[in-house]
Structure 1
């Protein structure tokens, strides 16, 4: 499994790691969600549609007693005015105390569009952390985003 940490502010940087230092103690919520994703990927492997992984993640999070909300509406604002359209984030884990936005994909690779989507969701919600998890490859791909701005 590969994990990327992405610090989001005016600029962001990516750090790709493969194993190495255990950062789970510094951010136990995101690493708990990553653990659930690893279990789902181990059981299902790649090849299914995104909605299959979504439902499997909901089951796994429930079994691990990780609180979450599914298909969370993300309102869109333009010049401080709420627009009638909105997006839906796949999951928000730990929604009441320390929320982690989780966007799931089942693609061959992740591109700038998927990364921009996560960054826009963070800006729209004010949530400080996100995971972009891709089940579409033989090795689980996960990118962790941490905001550098205050809302």
Structure 2
């Protein structure tokens, strides 16, 4: 069962993986490199995930074709979007929130590797309406 505590612990583990990647290779690379490094680091840590998951879009009981792909879907409950940009802009957040809603995920994490200190500047957690219904 997914609880708020479980998600808090999972985010801590994923942030730890991102910090390790950032510490090892630094800022200034393209997103796909960080993606591959995160895949390796999550695997090393025994965290299950799906990479480049095609997100289903359902409308009136029909599944529509979609080219939406989330970077990583962690433990079937946490959407992880990776960036390597100067600044997170509203469209990045809108995409993450859309992925969360379509995947019925209560929580999402945006990690931007193009920062000096990933813990303080490079990560932000987002929740949606599903999160408030979880047990502590």
TM-score for the superposition, normalised by structure 2: 0.83
Structure with bigger RCO (C-alpha 8 Å, 6+ apart):
1
Moved more, 83-92 or 25-34: 25-34
Query: Is 2:102 the counterpart of 1:124?
Result: yes
Deviations 1:80-121 (A, max 9, x none): 5322123111111112xxx21101011011010100010000
Query: Is 2:120 the counterpart of 1:142?
Result: no
CA distance in structure 2 between the aligned counterparts of 1:105 and 1:147, rounded to whole angstroms: 21
More helix by share: 2
Deviations 1:25-61 (A, max 9, x none): 8710111001100110111111111000000001111
Contact 1:109 1:137 in 2 (8 A): no
Task: Show the counterpart of 1:113.
Answer: 91
4+ residue runs over 4 A deviation: none
CA distance in structure 1 between the aligned counterparts of 2:125 and 2:100, rounded to whole angstroms: 12
The number of equivalent residue pairs is 124
CA distance in structure 1 between the aligned counterparts of 2:67 and 2:23, rounded to whole angstroms: 33
CA distance in structure 2 between the aligned counterparts of 1:93 and 1:72, rounded to whole angstroms: 10
Contact 2:54 2:66 in 1 (8 A): no
Task: Show the counterpart of 2:38.
Answer: 57
Moved more, 138-147 or 51-60: 138-147
Structure 2: stretches of 5+ with no match in the other structure: none
Q: Tell me how large the CA RMSD over aligned residues is.
A: 1.8
Aligned to 2:20, which of 39, 46, 50?
39
TM-score for the superposition, normalised by structure 1: 0.75
Moved more, 64-73 or 53-62: 64-73
More strand by share: 1
